[in-house]
Structure 1
């Protein structure tokens, strides 16, 4: 099965020479080295794939775990070597890369393995060399500097690769070109300093540089004002705002607030300082947009929240077919003014041209407008516009990816009337098309992860796709939100809380994210925190039915049945008596010994026509009424069709009595939940 893994290779410096000189002593050091390394691998959940002589080949689930393990190994060996003669010291070279690998039985293959194996011999004795992909993932997550050592040609790898070193306290930073003599290095440094001074003097004369303040890297893009006379162009201004946020979110060092938080300031009269303080940002990007004929004029200003000063401003006039290039230019200017150095991979992501067809782009923006409304009717409308978009430009990968997400919502999240089978197939077809066009498109990997999670129940692939998405676009709040719920379902509660907190930092005013944070607390058993968080969500939007639903579920778990009923009634009033919510209401009645009321809800769900939502709701009520055989029969039928809401059964077992949980376990096993991740009550 293909998945994303961090691969580490290690070997002992000078081991072959030592073996020829004193084989017995070499074997003794080899045993000591293995005794030191293997417990450290286990500490960081590294999986030892292969050992051959002095070499270790180890797989990790994340780049951070792999690099932290490598640092711990080099620290342990450094401490062990102190005071020992040179021929009794153990020094390793360690190389790491993260990439797609394929597991065949106990073996792991793929480019990820080959690249890690080629990087390892480049490392200095006692050092750690990593690929650019690893460097990007660990940025700001370890306590040691990570420096580039330049592009290196790796054996049997076509393109040169940028290689980085993790500089440990007892090491000197490796030279970027190890072949330079001292004299050449000195001359290069002098020349570089002269050039830097000249450039700096020129820049200083042109504009005063912005001091690099960590708070300034927290950025909000306010909704662009539509200056056109046609109010129907409002969707265009909103869409350009969202795409600008999307572009800036590709820059790892920027912390960009998501759309659902910033759109609340559309037409606001609040000052930049007030907005900045509420969103906890140090910089704000504001702008206007005017469409006329086949052209658009965009004006933007980067504003320092603390001083209210305009750090930078620019006006662009573009043909509609070139409008997307504006986002790249603005993102690069913003990064420059905030003194962010872009990695080559970030430059590649920013330089992408998604479509040059203005009609395709306009239909895409219209589709996003309807998708953001998040109603059954609006998502069907969004599908129509995305279908038009890809008809105008069949190579528009972003439109295909967003279309896939729409079909996933219609299939697995109860937003539409399309049969699950056709909708599921359309979702998968659209996402495969998007990835065939652009394999590095974060939105496509996110859509595929959602399909794997909610529709296919392919847990390993979903996990890999979520991590790939976040690797490609660290500031993508929705990916962090979805991944958090996935992790919560699998009882990886600490990781779930971390991911949801990242989503919350990126999108602090999103009701979906705030509600999701409450759900993670619920699944962790922190019920008071969950209730407090759901209450906070309702302060943001008193008409958000999902928050009342979640609050009711929390009270059910706490056996506060009166409060649970009250909150569920509010949820039902706002959402049109959704069957899933009726099921929980019936369960509340059953648990509160109000059998007649529970039976009445059960009857409502049996008429006029049964569907999967009603089957699930009836199963929940039947559990509350202790009619376990009937309930499990319905749940078993729903497993056969992979009814999407069942993914939460592993953590939402509040409808079961303790003695009934054992009968649920075989169903969860059929869903391929790991036994140690099946919740015990």
Structure 2
């Protein structure tokens, strides 16, 4: 078996890339060409070139408006990259609409039609040009596109479908030039939908060692009004969508889940039919301007309910309530399945452990703060058992990130950063819409002080899954360093609610935000507890001294300063201390330290 990305990266000693090394990034690729260009050229070369230039001018103007950058052209083909999947889709649709309007105003011989393919994926950078799978898939989608149409990869669709007011047609897995691509057409006015032969929903076999699958069954409409069925179905579909964002567990598709609607089947029979161990069931009752929604989670293998909840809400905004409930259900179910699976794993014999079991053991050790070697070993075993199971890769990134901040690893930071980047890049290459991997890319660029790229990847991750704690953590950090402190604190609180363990390595970060926001009493309370847990940590003690100084508790501040200077005798002035602090908190900390008596 080949080496994993982490094993390869372990050879990296100096992370400053030489010019000979391959540079990669995640990019949104836009590819278009003219339908039947060769035929048009053969019929009237001069007219065809004039028409193409006219159309190209329209495209150039749209690229400028939506921040598209052309990186290659070949005859009638144009390849461009975009900073945003949403911008690329809007640009593509506007272009097709403008070309349609142009065609209506010129003679038949001067009319042109274009195909467009869009993909988000890993690309190789060479000068101003881009290569690699991300570009190749976009080119294949362009070949698959209808004349006058826009064809998207699943990675683009999943990212933009909830952000743009457009319709999409799922045309399924398509074989194009020996490559299987799951594609979607954008519904554009005047363009007939493709005729796809209806097929019964396919139930995917569960890969050995993969996490257990979950099926969200159609919620029952308990209202007397049969027309409220749409509301129950809408909530069900939203819960499926939100659960799928976690990418922790395989989620049975909407078509498959709805195939059991109205059937009298036991939980065990539904589980067998859908290949799903866990079932989410629920009911919705609307009365007047109120709605009651109940949901439960069943372990079909053991035939027992392991979680249930009920919500009562006013129906001031039906869609807002629908979204709130679906997110709440998804957020509650994810950790519940983790807990249940971990309990099952603890009862398993070592020789029967699957990739999922090994990953859960590694995750438990990670949360217990066990030695990194044991956690990484379990992750590698999980990867060897199921190379396409991506969670162990991301857990390795978290372990390496934690290690990077430990003082004794100061000399290894470049090496650890290299490993994080290579593993995260590998996962993004496998699954471009993986929020956890994109959040790790943000962390990597943050470590390099590349704030623009760090914010870009953090926002990409958050856009894919706003309930991914690594994404909200990355946003909190990057927005703080960008000077958006209130926004950073909002993301901090969101991260804390999703997974408090994300901030255990950085107790001073919340204190920094509170100090800059002027909430000194809260900052002092937080930092005092942190210092009690780690009294030899000079960074924490320095923040406590600053908080005391800012609160004009000068006797306590001066006493704390003496203890701080014993730990850091090299800091003899404010000028010595300033370079050790994050930029956004320098002013607040130095002000407090000056009051405590630290000289300028």
Contact 2:527 2:543 in 1 (8 A): no
Match of 2:370 in 1: 380
Given that residues 458 and 475 in structure 2 are in contact (C-alpha distance below 8 angstroms), is that contact kept between their aligned partners in structure 1?
no
> Residues 485-512 of structure 1, C-alpha deviation per residue, up to 9 Å, x if partnerless?
3552574979x889959x95xx894375
Structure 1 residues 475 and 599: alpha-carbon distance in aligned structure 2, compared to 1, 3 A threshold: closer
Q: What is the aligned partner in structure 1 of residue 542 from structure 2?
A: 583
CA RMSD in angstroms comes to 5.3
Offset of residue 45 of structure 1: 1.6
**Is this contact kept in 1: 2:469–2:499, CA < 8 A?**
no
**Corresponding residue SS for 2:162:** coil
The answer to whether residue 62 in structure 2 is matched with residue 32 in structure 1 is: no
Q: Structure 1 residues 555 and 30, CA, compared in 2 at 3 Å: closer, same or farther?
A: same
* Partner secondary structure for residue 402 of structure 1: helix
Distance (whole Å) between structure 1 residues aligned to residue 133 and residue 483 of structure 2: 29
Find the counterpart in structure 2 of residue 445 from structure 1. Answer: 437
Determine the structure 2 residue equivalent to 1:61: 83
- 2:522 matches 1:567: yes
The equivalent of 2:498 in structure 1 is 510
Give, in whole Å, the separation in 2 of the partners of 1:118 and 1:458: 33
2:189 alignment partner, one of 152, 169, 192: 169
1:215 to 212, 235, 240: 235
Q: Kindly tell me: are residues 282 and 570 of structure 1, through their superposed partners in 2, closer, same or farther at Cα, counting changes over 3 Å?
A: same
In 2, the alpha carbon distance for the partners of 1:490 and 1:586 equals: 22
Which residue number in structure 2 is paired with residue 607 of structure 1? 566
Question: Is 1:480 the equivalent of 2:471?
Answer: yes
Q: CA deviation at 1:145?
A: 2.0
SS of equivalent to 2:195: coil
Deviation (angstroms), 1:2: 0.6
Corresponding residue number in structure 2 for 1:667 = none
Q: Which residue of 1 aligns with 2:384?
A: 395
Residue 124 to residue 391, structure 1, CA distance change in 2 (3 Å): closer
Q: Which residue of 1 aligns with 2:304?
A: 299
Among 69, 77, 98, the alignment partner of 1:76 is 98
Structure 1 contact 424–455 (Cα < 8 Å) conserved: no
Q: How does 1:42-441 map to 2 (within 5 A)?
A: 42-155=64-177, 158-176=178-196, 210=220, 213-217=233-237, 246-247=248-249, 284-287=295-298, 297=302, 299-300=304-305, 305=310, 357-358=352-353, 364-369=359-364, 371-372=366-367, 378-380=368-370, 383=372, 386=375, 389=378, 395=384, 398-399=391-392, 401-412=394-405, 418-421=408-411, 440=430
Contact map agreement 1:3 1:100 (CA 8 A) in 2: yes
1:491–1:87 CA distance, 2 compared to 1 (3 A): farther
Tell me: CA distance 1:444–1:580, structure 2 relative to 1, closer, same or farther (3 Å). same
Q: Greater relative contact order: 1 or 2 (C-alpha under 8 angstroms, separation 6 or more)? A: 2
Equivalent position SS for 2:565: coil
d(CA) in 1 for partners of 2:292, 2:515: 38
* 1:9 and 2:31 matched: yes
Q: 1:500 to 1:249 in 2, by over 3 A?
A: farther
Which runs of structure 2 are paired with 1:665-680 in the superposition (5 Å)? Answer: none
Q: Is the 8 A contact 1:48 1:57 kept in 2?
A: yes
Q: Matched residue pairs, number?
A: 465
Show structure 2 runs of 5+ residues with no match: 1-22, 202-216, 221-228, 256-281, 285-290, 313-336, 342-349, 592-600
User: What is the deviation of 1:101?
Assistant: 0.7
Q: Within 2, Cα distance between the matches of 1:553 and 1:606?
A: 20
Q: Report the CA distance between 1:584 and its aligned residue.
A: 3.6
1:133 to partner: Cα distance = 2.9
Structure 1 unaligned residues grouped into runs of 5+: 177-187, 197-206, 221-240, 254-271, 275-279, 290-295, 308-322, 328-354, 373-377, 517-543, 636-645, 659-681
Q: Deviations over 1:599-645 (max 9, x none)?
A: 654432222467xxxx8xx69xx5xxxx43x346x44xxxxxxxxxx
